[in-house]
Amino acid sequence: MKAEFRSSIPRLRRLLPRFRKTRIAVLGDLMLDRYLWGMANRLSPEAAVPVVDFESQTDRLGGAGNVAANLAALGAHVELFGVVGGQRRAGKKTADDATGSALRACLREAEIGDRGVLAVARRITTVKTRVIARHQQIVRIDHERREALPPEAEEILFRALLASLKGIDALILSDYDKGLISDSFADRILNACHQFKVPVFVKPKTTRLYAYRGARVIVCNTKEAGFYVTRSLLDEKSVEEAGRALLPHFGCAAVVITRGEKGMSIFEEAAPHCLHIPATSFEVTYARVGQPGVERGTTGRQVFDVTGAGDTVLSVLSLAMAAGAFLPDAALLANTAAGVVVGKLGTANVTPSELRAALDEFHP
């Protein structure tokens, strides 16, 4: 049985100032999202592809870095743990590769500390390069390797995280299946967090069927949820059956299934009914990465770019719960934030003022 959830918007607004007092750690796969901007006015004589005249380049935090950037943009104190590619230098410690250095520059710009970011020799920093012309993505080129982290590097990372657990309110595991989080590593992390009573929020990867047991909330999309229960989720009944099945599957307290234009469905172990949060219905269009420019006075919703929307849901939901919100309120706030971010081209974040304005627009 499904019930539609509506929250007290004044209560959500009162929650926003508490974000600045909240400390959250993020552990996961770090990436650099690189955008090459240009104009395309002709086709190549060599193949039926557009020729893009290069104009500029923009680097943005991706993967776990984007989750951390979302949290920092909302005022939270963020500790980030992950790895970048490294190069050994004679007599010196391992240095970042060129992409890793660019990623650290993005962290500094976002005012996110990088003490928990480790350079690992013979590894490369993941970079996703998108070529954009006339605000449309032409192609994406991924440069990455997915081998498991060396045991010594995993141990250094785990001990650094362990040292921070006493001072944080929550941990987010941002797993993009790039080799950082193995089943055994996830198990060690969750056991340590349980000992320190730190709630863990996870967006899982389908390659790990039984990892993350004991997480506070698992966030997955419809396709991922369908993979875990080995069937397609085509209607409300199948979504509800999947959500109920995933609670014992992950041994977690709650499951949130994000459903795009259909909003999200929330399942809690202690709640008898599924809660449904409808998608926002406000049209937003943006011309460049991260820049505002809300087009008001229209109805319906134009999704300009879904890059990073899942990161936004995970980060805002986790931050809201760490700041004291109940899951339904936190999910509504996360859904509202995602409605802002999908209206921005490229990897983007939402600010407190944007979120406050969106609450007024989306939930009058």
- Residue whose pair of structure tokens reads 């795009």 in the numeric block: 260
- CA 29 – CA 81 distance, rounded (Å): 9
Handedness of CA 267, 200, 322, 351 (dihedral sign): negative
Q: CA 284, CA 30: separation in Å to the nearest integer? A: 28
The 10 Å CB-count burial string (b at 16+, else e) for 211-227 is: bbebbbbbbbbbebbbb
Q: Are 172 and 315 in contact (CB under 8 A)?
A: yes
The structure tokens 């229960």 sit at 229
219, 252 contact by CB (below 8 A): no
Question: Cα 137 to the chain's mean position, in Å?
Answer: 20
DSSP state string for 344-364: SSSS----HHHHHHHHHHH--
Residues 76, 316: contact at Cβ < 8 Å? no
Tokens of 348: 């983007």
In 3D, which of 194, 157, 172, 158 has the Cα closest to residue 23? 172
Q: Which of 90, 89, 117, 88 is nearest to 102 (CA)?
A: 117
Sequence length of the chain is: 364
Phi, psi of 54, rounded to the nearest 5 degrees: -65, 135
Residue 360 annotated to the active site: no
Position 74: which residue type?
Answer: L
Q: Which of 33, 311, 329, 360 is catalytic?
A: 311
Catalytic residues: 311
